[in-house]
Structure 1
Amino acid sequence: MTDTGAGPDLTPDTAPDPLEPLPLLRRELHTGPLGLSSREAARRLAVHGPNEVRRTARTSVLRELLRQLVHPLALLLWAAAALAFTASITVLGWAIVAVILVNAGFALVQEQQAEKAVETLARFLPAQARVIRDGLVQRVPARELVPGDLIALDEGDRVPADARLTEGGIEADLSTLTGESTPVERLAGPGLEGLSLLQEPNLVFSGTTATEGQAQAIVFATGDHTELGRIAALSQRTRREPSPLEAQVKQVAWLIAAVAVGMGAVFLVTGVAVGLPLTDSLMFAIGLLVANVPEGLLPTITLALAVGVRVLARQGAVVKRLSAVETLGSTNVICTDKTGTLTRNRMSLHATWTPPHPEVSGSEAAELVRAAAQCTTVTRERDGRLHGDPTEIALVEGAAQHAAPLDPADRDARRRACFRFDPRLRRMSVVQDGGPGSLRVIVKGAAEAVLALLAEGEPTEEAQDAADTLAADGMRVLAVAVRELPSDTAAAISQRQVVERDLHLLGLVGLYDPPRPEVAAAVRRCHEAGLTVHIVTGDNGATAAAVARAVGIGTSNLQVIAQSEAIDDHELDHLLRQDGTEIVFARSSPETKLKVADALRAHGQIVAMTGDGVNDAPALHRAHIGVAMGLSGTDVAREASTMVLTDDNFATIVTAIESGRRVYDNVRKFIVYIFAHLTPEVVPFLVFALSAGAVPLPLTVLQILAIDLGTETLPALALGRERAEPGVMSRPPRPSSQSVINKDMLVRSWGWLGTVSAVLVMTAFFYVLWRAGWHPGDPTGPGASLHHAYLTATTATFAGIVTCQVGTAIAARTDHAALRDIGFFSNPLLLAGIAFELAFTAALVYAPPLQNLFGTAALPLDVVLLIAVFPPLVWGTDEIRRWVRRRHHRYS
């Protein structure tokens, strides 16, 4: 009868237990065999809401944009823009504002990735569902399903809600939730104790697919309360944290801002105290602030990371967040799935075992695989491809390789009965025509399930030993046995327990998904680079462990957690603290992957996590680097990840890590390059202030802006495309606590390269003034006899800093190695950048319109020759410093 009375006293938060006895579940849901009435369904829809994955409220776009606009480096750029407008250089001012807005917009786009992942989850729900209401099968929008609805499922249907089977059975593809590519049997019947919901043989879940069979099921959860909705909630609750580079750049930016403002304030007071006019003191403070602000740092980092993204895309890794490139370089733990990433994602017949049977003529192996292929339901499509269970496809293909090809039409024509695979019995059997006047039973299934049905005298113990050996090699082991029946027993073949007994063992088949050939070398490179590799998979522990050993994971110490869902935080922390231990987390759930990622982060590790299914989305979202599969991965995984592998290949992850290390090294190189110019830009103002104005200002604010936003940008970008130094993958990952800017870099940039440059440019400044007869205190302002000499001297300072930049750029190409190790001409972009900055400088020095704007004057030949020797002096002194360091490390 149809339920027409009042609905159950249930709220969305008090759903019934789907595993309770079916009559009790029907009673709780007030659902009869004819389903709900239309009126009752409408009432429940009002209570429970639509059957769809709902999204939490969006964060205000305006608020997110504002947060990006007040980033510390953005604030410094705002200050630089304000100074440019104050100095009436509107073109530079608007250029800086454009840089700020472009960076803020790009960061804003990255923040929307989590919401896109949740939006994609909704697309796993079908548009329509078949439901039994008022006693009739009808199609309704899937979003209108409610708890208590009775739904009909057929082959090819997408399951529209979490439901308990009441009649029939289906083969269900649960890969979107479990990561298992093999369909599983789902049958009406009682539940099994001790299993998780996803493993219960009588439950189906929204977003999964019925690949075979027919069934009816009663809905017990819809919308956000389904397994799919729960995963969506996990994805929304796990916020993406800033990358190490993002956090470190923010810290450095605040440090630079504090130093710049502090120095400006101190020397403003100092200037007034030593008798400078207030206007000159203010100009000095502003110049000091501009000199300390690395205006080009943020756009240079952004563009350098963008170059890394393009390089990785050509190598098969599509990175969706620029900062992920740097994070890859600091990764020290990879948590990888097994199927499709370490392996080829293609099951094949790998081994056979047959007991000695002298009475059997011909090849026992051929007979074994022929019988196994007969006990399948695989079909052949019009284009010749096989369709069906991957395990059975492997058996049919294996039979062809053993000269025993299978014709599915002939197989079905000879078949008299078929007992489908039963997950409780873990076996399948068929009855087909045998010889004249006989029938043949073929049984295949798990070794222990089939061996228990053998006739007396069969080699059970030998077969079990062989099965254990094959399983230890990572193979899925199936036993195949037969029985001959006289044709007059045809009436009894409808009873499974009659035919599946007193069997004769043909042998065992081992099915294997082989590792990708390039993975072993990639794992070796990981170990050489100091990376740890864990396997986190929904597969069987023995199979995953065998694959791990085959590719070199856990060679020194491999731990296998057979049921990783059961591991608690204390045990997990203990395992992860063991040095040199690599772990296989088998039978993982979405929470397990998320728990592993959180634990590793809590231990200070930088984590890359691979995944392909809906179940992987929260962990991909939580890991520092979420790596989704481009070929086999779901849309949800790709949206939640920060990197997508277009070839699903583990080796590509290692290539990406190497590229990330190179990009990080290059970021440090151009930071050294940019910071090295702060000293020669600040020293002129210090000389001006400490001399109480007796020495005129050797450099103007406009010339500093021309350097910071004009001449230094292209060489800095070229350094971002520098080749990796030798041994980049032979060193351990840098500690997560290591800043992108450390003491050695500051000593090298400010203390060595900067000091050498400052001495050289001040030499050029005083050379021009003294040659013109200047003495300290002589007037150099407009109208004074020394004014042109002063303009020439400041121009020499400006041009000297630019030529010192050339030497710094060449020196910064390597951190430890000699320049000859990488080749002087190996970075043509840097040579082009140097040519541009020299041409740009020449234009500012010799073009009359730019002379008037920037306060420059044409340089005489002797001054040009003087500053022309600055590049080899700057690079040469740093080359000597690196040579001394290499010798010291060699002998220390």
Structure 2
Amino acid sequence: MTQYATNDQLAQMPVDQFYQQMGSSPAGLPTTEADQRLTTDGPNTIQQGKRTSNFKAFIKNFTSLMAILLWVSGIIAILAGMLELGIAIWAVNVINGVFSFWQEHAAKKATDALKELLPTYTTVVRDGKTVQINANDLVPGDVFNIQTGNRISADARIVQCESLQVDESALSGESQLVSKQVAYHKGSGKYDEANLVYAGTIAAQGNAVAVAIQTGMKTEFGQIAALTEGEKKVASPLEIELNRLTREISVIGMLIGVAFFIAAILVVHTPVAKAFIFALGMIVAFIPEGLLPTVTLSLANGVQGMSKHHALVKELNSVETLGETTVICSDKTGTLTQNQMTIEHIWLPGQQYDVTGEGYENNGQIKRGNQPVAFGQNADLDLLLRASFLDNDTQVEAPKDAQHGPKIMGSPTEAALQILVAKAGMKTHEIQSTNPRVKEFGFDSNRKRMSTVNQATDGTKTLYTKGALDGILALCDTILVQGRVRPMTDQDKTQIEQANQAFATQGLRSLAVAYRSVTDSEDLNQTADQLEHHLTFIGLTVMSDPPRPEVYEAVKRCHTADIRIIMVTGDGPTTAKSVAVKIGINGENVRIITGDELAQMSDSDLETAVKGDVLFARVAPEQKYRIVKANKANGEIVASTGDGVNDAPALKQADIGIAMGQTGTDVAKEAADMILTDDNFASIVAAIQEGRTVYADIQKFLLYILNSNVPEAVPSILYLFSGGLIPLPLTVMQILTVDLGTDMMPALGLGSEKSEPGIMDQPPRPRNAHLLNRRIILKAFAWYGLISSVISTAAYFLVNYRYGGWPHQALASSGSVYLQATTMTLAAIVFCQIAMAENCRTKLVSVFKIGLFSNHRINFGIIFEVCLLALIIYVPILQGIFNTTGLTTLDWVVLATIPIPVFLVEELRKFMVRRHLSREGKSPAAVK
């Protein structure tokens, strides 16, 4: 590959030496040389990494640990003579796998979008002739044209330039346009060299001729792509936890199965074949076949809930990951703020005006105190407004509808000035027509100002200048004070600088405005420096990118939920701190780390720094990546926002990458796990609540299905420990009926339960916390399970007692009484589960508070399980399969009363716990 000097070295060389170094000339490369370089350096494309085929992506949904366990469960059920249930288990697995694949199929890798971002054709000079070539064929040394609206094809040095301004936000993260020129000047940021342009950025204004110095994967764009491609996406916390849970349940099920197998042979002397089938049935019974469908449903519900809050999730597991988030690394512009420059104040010597109305809307006013002021009421203000409008190249088109904002064609800063004059009621068409522009000096990053000469209808010409205060003030020798122009004194300059500094400490940006009359004898073909002199200072327009109104409450909710926010921005330290303190992210003593400081920090120092009250300003792309990585090294679950190409590696490195839907590049969107359609930080917080709800719902499901395992196991324990004197009160087929039949629909209903009150008043769950924890096990086995076991076992003995079989004589092991007793046991478990479904809906909050019948899926599930139970009991063919028989009217009356006391006893327990916590000053939401 051809070796050249570094970009910075090339940028500083004299033009002749630069051409010589690149082996090129103003006439461009010879075609033969270009072809040779294309062979040597390769095409100007972003290389794609190894791709996963759709087939492999499809198969992976059926090869997870839980999926494999379900395949084995189906085989076990078939071997146990239960063909229908085996097929049902497989069907559940197939449906879940297909649904998961469909949800994730739309996601593409970041480099697909990178390739699409490069333009198809580029106009170059070869053999002294201007030709159009495919952008893929561009090589280092090619001389090519840049025009307004072009996306730049390569990293290049400018050799000719006319008012070129480039949108580098996709790389730098900063929304301000960057002025370019032929002369070298090193700016403050990584991409701020005045005579260099970069692949993937956009020419917003002007045109230029440039020489390519890097193409393809060697461009800054390509290097970021390589970093993104090399960053592998690790398994989500939920995937890891589900695999761990599956292993635990598998081991428990196997141990129980082996224990029952040995006990059946040694204690009851059951034949080996029969004992084996009995043990297999118990293993299948302890496997939560509904776990995957319930998790998928919970995640899908979370996806739907997030979409209502303007958050689109690409992978289901990302939903729950959001709920675990402990740190949010957030951009400032457009996420915390509105990404709309807004004039807030006008400062004139001896006068200050406030401007109402935010963003690119003209529904505000200019006020002095409480008194509105319009154009035509104050001569000094009128002159500043006139200069702001005439010395302006930006156009603002009205929005097409309520869903879309105004269309800005040009600089956001100039757009704010255009809106300002609209708020003042200036008749812009009349001013424009009576003061046509006769000369323009575009904004220059060295001069830091822009000037125009406009000629009035009476022939008088006026030079209007706006820009950074330091540059403007140095050119002013007079000042406009209350309608009178007088010489500027040192005291005037001090007063102006103090006012500017006061605004800067508030995070506001000032733009100075000045003017002078141009005589007829002056040559307008002079340079800007020759014409911009002896100016009269008018005043300052003071602007900001205001915070989103809803971000204040969102930040408070994060603090309440013990979620830290770290601002990572390309803006300067003063502005960053002002916004962070204003909206409550940081305190006044926040540590500000700039990109230059960060570059000198070791990884260990950075890991220590991100634990404190800190924000980052003027960061480079790889530095944002380091910040995310440092937080993860500290054990944090990190969500990171981004919108530019430079953000892709950080988005991919984060546990949950969040791209901006409105301003984000395709690269960022493809690298991210979630896309915000409104670019709003508040939407992230709403999505976090949905994520926490998903995790809570999965735990509710586990509590529900595990508690039924106890009354299913107790009958077998009674059978074994009685030495067979107590016949099996519940057969294996009846156990599986509960697991795969009656329990399934209410369990799925729990997967769609809404957020419990107070869910955002507790900290994120610890990284080492597990879905199946001690609280759930104790509540499932020692409380819910115990209640159901007592009731169902009592039902079994009650039927035997009613027909004289107990305690007067041995319990029947066959016949009508035995069938009725086992049927009653099964039915009692089902009706206990009706109450348990309601009990599991909340942790400690009363179900009456959230609405007893508010979850329609649970209501449907309860109706479904009662109907299914009735079919199993009364349909002759099903009676033979499930060993059931019809029940009496009295039996149904008893069954119907079971859920009421079971539900009320749990409500009483929740009430007592709440009262106890209240006495101790604790919130029920804080209970794990």
* Distance apart, 1:63 and its partner CA: 5.1
User: Any stretches of 5+ residues in structure 1 without a counterpart?
Assistant: 1-8
1:363 equivalent in structure 2? 379
Decide which moves more: 560-569 or 850-859.
560-569
Instruction: Report the Cα distance in structure 2 between the residues aligned to 1:876 and 1:744, rounded to whole angstroms.
Output: 20
1:505 equivalent in structure 2? 537
What do the CA deviations read for 1:761-796 (whole angstroms, capped 9, x no partner)?
A: 122223334444547996966xxxx43322222222
* Distance apart, 1:82 and its partner CA: 0.9
2:902 equivalent in structure 1? 874
1:121 to 110, 114, 136: 114
1:388 to 405, 410, 415: 410
Instruction: Report the Cα distance in structure 2 between the residues aligned to 1:854 and 1:11, rounded to whole angstroms.
Output: 79
Q: Is the 8 A contact 1:432 1:441 kept in 2?
A: yes
1:424 equivalent in structure 2? 446
* Distance apart, 1:341 and its partner CA: 2.0
Q: Is the 8 A contact 1:378 1:408 kept in 2?
A: no
What do the CA deviations read for 1:433-475 (whole angstroms, capped 9, x no partner)?
A: 3797864332211112222222273421111111111122222
Answer yes or no: is 1:820 the counterpart of 2:848. Answer: yes
Answer yes or no: is 1:218 the counterpart of 2:251. Answer: no
2:298 equivalent in structure 1? 304
Give 3-state SS (helix, strand or coil) of 2:151's partner.
Answer: coil
* Distance apart, 1:206 and its partner CA: 1.4
What do the CA deviations read for 1:73-100 (whole angstroms, capped 9, x no partner)?
A: 1122112211232244444333322332
Instruction: Report the Cα distance in structure 1 between the residues aligned to 2:796 and 2:2, rounded to whole angstroms.
Output: 85
Q: Is the 8 A contact 2:824 2:891 kept in 1?
A: yes
Instruction: Describe how 1:23-38 pairs up with structure 2 within 5 A.
Output: 23-38=16-31
1:4 equivalent in structure 2? none
* Distance apart, 1:14 and its partner CA: 9.3
Instruction: Report the Cα distance in structure 1 between the residues aligned to 2:60 and 2:683, rounded to whole angstroms.
Output: 34
Instruction: Describe how 1:703-852 pairs up with structure 2 within 5 A.
Output: 703-774=734-805, 786-852=814-880
Instruction: Report the Cα distance in structure 2 between the residues aligned to 1:70 and 1:289, rounded to whole angstroms.
Output: 20
Decide which moves more: 119-128 or 609-618.
609-618
Decide which moves more: 154-163 or 91-100.
91-100
Q: Is the 8 A contact 2:107 2:670 kept in 1?
A: yes
Instruction: Report the Cα distance in structure 1 between the residues aligned to 2:856 and 2:886, rounded to whole angstroms.
Output: 30
Instruction: Report the Cα distance in structure 2 between the residues aligned to 1:531 and 1:405, rounded to whole angstroms.
Output: 50
1:529 equivalent in structure 2? 561
Q: Provide closer, same or farther for how the CA distance between residues 816 and 213 of structure 1 changes in structure 2, counting only shifts above 3 A.
A: same
Instruction: Report the Cα distance in structure 2 between the residues aligned to 1:669 and 1:406, rounded to whole angstroms.
Output: 63
* Distance apart, 1:614 and its partner CA: 2.1
Answer yes or no: is 1:467 the counterpart of 2:461. Answer: no
Answer yes or no: is 1:890 the counterpart of 2:918. Answer: yes
Instruction: Report the Cα distance in structure 2 between the residues aligned to 1:386 and 1:664, rounded to whole angstroms.
Output: 43
Answer yes or no: is 1:857 the counterpart of 2:885. Answer: yes
2:316 to 306, 322, 327: 322
2:437 equivalent in structure 1? 415
Answer yes or no: is 1:478 the counterpart of 2:540. Answer: no
Instruction: Report the Cα distance in structure 2 between the residues aligned to 1:129 and 1:778, rounded to whole angstroms.
Output: 95
Question: In angstroms, what is the RMSD of aligned CA positions?
Answer: 2.9
Return the letter of the residue paired with 1:526: C
Give 3-state SS (helix, strand or coil) of 2:117's partner.
Answer: coil
Q: Provide closer, same or farther for how the CA distance between residues 880 and 462 of structure 1 changes in structure 2, counting only shifts above 3 A.
A: same
Give 3-state SS (helix, strand or coil) of 1:19's partner.
Answer: helix
What do the CA deviations read for 1:26-65 (whole angstroms, capped 9, x no partner)?
A: 3232112211121221121122222111111124555555
1:345 to 339, 346, 354: 339
Decide which moves more: 150-159 or 10-19.
10-19
Instruction: Report the Cα distance in structure 1 between the residues aligned to 2:851 and 2:459, rounded to whole angstroms.
Output: 84
Instruction: Report the Cα distance in structure 2 between the residues aligned to 1:869 and 1:83, rounded to whole angstroms.
Output: 36
What do the CA deviations read for 1:142-197 (whole angstroms, capped 9, x no partner)?
A: 111111211111122221111111222421111222232332111122242x7554
1:6 equivalent in structure 2? none
Give 3-state SS (helix, strand or coil) of 2:11's partner.
Answer: coil
Instruction: Report the Cα distance in structure 2 between the residues aligned to 1:26 and 1:729, rounded to whole angstroms.
Output: 61
Q: Is the 8 A contact 2:581 2:588 kept in 1?
A: no
1:295 equivalent in structure 2? 289
1:685 equivalent in structure 2? 716
Instruction: Report the Cα distance in structure 1 between the residues aligned to 2:169 and 2:430, rounded to whole angstroms.
Output: 26
2:194 equivalent in structure 1? 201
* Distance apart, 1:852 and its partner CA: 1.6
| TM-score normalised to structure 1 length | 0.92
| TM-score normalised to structure 2 length | 0.88
Identity of aligned residues (%): 38
* Distance apart, 1:119 and its partner CA: 0.6
Instruction: Describe how 1:249-268 pairs up with structure 2 within 5 A.
Output: 249-268=242-261
Answer yes or no: is 1:561 the counterpart of 2:561. Answer: no
Answer yes or no: is 1:548 the counterpart of 2:580. Answer: yes
Q: Is the 8 A contact 2:100 2:316 kept in 1?
A: no
What do the CA deviations read for 1:726-746 (whole angstroms, capped 9, x no partner)?
A: 222222222222212210111
Instruction: Report the Cα distance in structure 2 between the residues aligned to 1:182 and 1:195, rounded to whole angstroms.
Output: 13
1:446 equivalent in structure 2? 468
* Distance apart, 1:125 and its partner CA: 0.5
2:369 equivalent in structure 1? none
* Distance apart, 1:429 and its partner CA: 2.1
Give 3-state SS (helix, strand or coil) of 1:219's partner.
Answer: strand
Q: How many residues align?
A: 873
What do the CA deviations read for 1:532-572 (whole angstroms, capped 9, x no partner)?
A: 22222222332232222332222475333343653623443
Q: Is the 8 A contact 2:595 2:623 kept in 1?
A: no
Return the letter of the residue paired with 2:341: M
Decide which moves more: 758-767 or 398-407.
398-407
Return the letter of the residue paired with 1:338: K
* Distance apart, 1:717 and its partner CA: 1.9
2:275 to 276, 281, 295: 281
Instruction: Report the Cα distance in structure 2 between the residues aligned to 1:12 and 1:837, rounded to whole angstroms.
Output: 75
Give 3-state SS (helix, strand or coil) of 1:181's partner.
Answer: coil
Instruction: Report the Cα distance in structure 2 between the residues aligned to 1:868 and 1:12, rounded to whole angstroms.
Output: 85
Instruction: Report the Cα distance in structure 2 between the residues aligned to 1:46 and 1:151, rounded to whole angstroms.
Output: 19
2:703 to 672, 676, 680: 672
Q: Is the 8 A contact 2:641 2:658 kept in 1?
A: yes
1:270 equivalent in structure 2? 263
Decide which moves more: 560-569 or 462-471.
560-569
Q: Provide closer, same or farther for how the CA distance between residues 343 and 386 of structure 1 changes in structure 2, counting only shifts above 3 A.
A: closer
